[in-house]
Structure 1
């Protein structure tokens, strides 16, 4: 059990939840994503809209990126579920509310939320307080990515089958990890997960580390005579994740 003092959400996770909620208030419909449950989880102060990081105009670009990546991933998960994929892993889940907002899809899957022990213990408690609870198909997996423990071992112990197809996502996480932890995560997916796994990342300051991690994973696969990890293309410009290309195509169709 996490220490009581650590049972609190990460400030970055709360910020994302509030931006998603503000999207419904500040942006004109049709809305890209409808998420008010994250706001209920966060229970911010009444004047949260007056926070400097909630300025509607100044943060509009960040807000748009947050809801766009969430919508893209949820459509990807729904698409893969229709194809028979039955595992969905969220690395650094924070205040993600897919399981609560989309139970008609989530209940067809085994959903694994991987996050730091303290924030996850807090989220477990808040879900119970709000009446959502933890259904059998939702697994909260506490992991410290920077510690020596292997997130994939913890995930497997919770019921994840690395040999079966899965959607594995990591959004807004890599910028908070060391390059060693980022590379280790990429390598774990490449070496130990099914080749049919679909991996989706978002990157910013850590883009080079993620690319380097996937490049190393691709090189490992090539030297062993295996195909590259699913969703990874090796081209003249280095490694490009296929999901990034799909996101750009989706954005063009959504806003044209």
Structure 2
């Protein structure tokens, strides 16, 4: 992304969440999604008829729902710290149903400033439970930003990281995962990643994948990494994380709406939950 501009892919995901609110098979209820975009729900385009486009919208909703469900389980067992990495226009912190849960939003300064403007213009109150932690990785470190934001590394924490990893190099992804896994207290995380294109992908779906890659590259936010499920699981186990649940996009959508449309995801989006229930 351009350092002086907010993330365009974050805007794209926000539009997907907003459009999803009119889905008769709603996965994620988020009344703030249209508001943070300053859009009247009636102004949003109708849901697409094309199955692959509809699936894309539902996948964005499903990954947030999956993460919020996992967070609710963590809160029930005592977690009171949530870190949202690459928060974009995510609205969870402003509709947080969990008393006592503190939320730290981490993002590039330009994207975070844009979000705060959107919140103010939409009349969405920033509750005292929210702390903003701007990070410019050319000058700052994640550890330093979270220390400044008051993250207590001796108390349980939940890390939420959606819509970011494909735009980072493999080493940057693994470095961030190691930081999260290095939390001294019990820790859980949900993140998504792109799998490698399977050899069985049809020419039509392969063309869709290539077109999507070209589009984000032209926006200045190219895909830089992908993993196999076996590869990422090995890396996480080496970090002393377990309880790994790794779902394909179609599997995830099917969890909430039944048989997914379509059966195959050309982009290869996957969502993973892992954690550690004991202190280091």
Interval containing the TM-score (normalised by the shorter chain): 0.7 to 0.9
Alignment-derived partner of residue 192 in structure 2: 202
Alignment-derived partner of residue 222 in structure 2: none
Alignment-derived partner of residue 152 in structure 1: 143
Alpha carbon RMSD of aligned pairs, Å? Answer: 3.2
Partners of 1:23 and 1:212 lie apart in 2 by 32
Alignment-derived partner of residue 174 in structure 2: 183
Partners of 2:250 and 2:72 lie apart in 1 by 18
Q: Secondary structure at the match of 2:132?
A: strand
CA 1:246/1:177 → structure 2, altered by over 3 Å: closer, same or farther? Answer: closer
Alignment-derived partner of residue 214 in structure 2: none
Alignment-derived partner of residue 198 in structure 2: none
Alignment-derived partner of residue 237 in structure 1: none
Alignment-derived partner of residue 244 in structure 1: 246
Contact 1:200 1:243 in 2 (8 A): no
Partners of 1:250 and 1:216 lie apart in 2 by 22
Of the three residues 27, 43, 60, the one matched with 2:38 is 43
Give the stretch that moved more between structures: 37-46 or 111-120.
37-46
Of the three residues 9, 20, 24, the one matched with 1:23 is 20
Q: Secondary structure at the match of 1:132?
A: coil
* Structure 1 residues not aligned, in runs of 5+: 222-227, 234-241
Contact 1:199 1:243 in 2 (8 A): no
Partners of 1:80 and 1:180 lie apart in 2 by 28
CA 1:19/1:245 → structure 2, altered by over 3 Å: closer, same or farther? Answer: closer
- Number of residues paired by the alignment? 226
Q: Which has the higher contact order (CA 8 A, sep 6+)?
A: 2
Q: Secondary structure at the match of 1:199?
A: strand
Shift of 1:67: 0.9
TM-score (ref. length: structure 2): 0.69
Matching of residue 12 in structure 1 with residue 9 in structure 2: yes
Give the stretch that moved more between structures: 210-219 or 134-143.
210-219
Partners of 2:87 and 2:228 lie apart in 1 by 21
Partners of 1:211 and 1:115 lie apart in 2 by 29
Matching of residue 82 in structure 1 with residue 76 in structure 2: yes
Give the stretch that moved more between structures: 40-49 or 121-130.
40-49
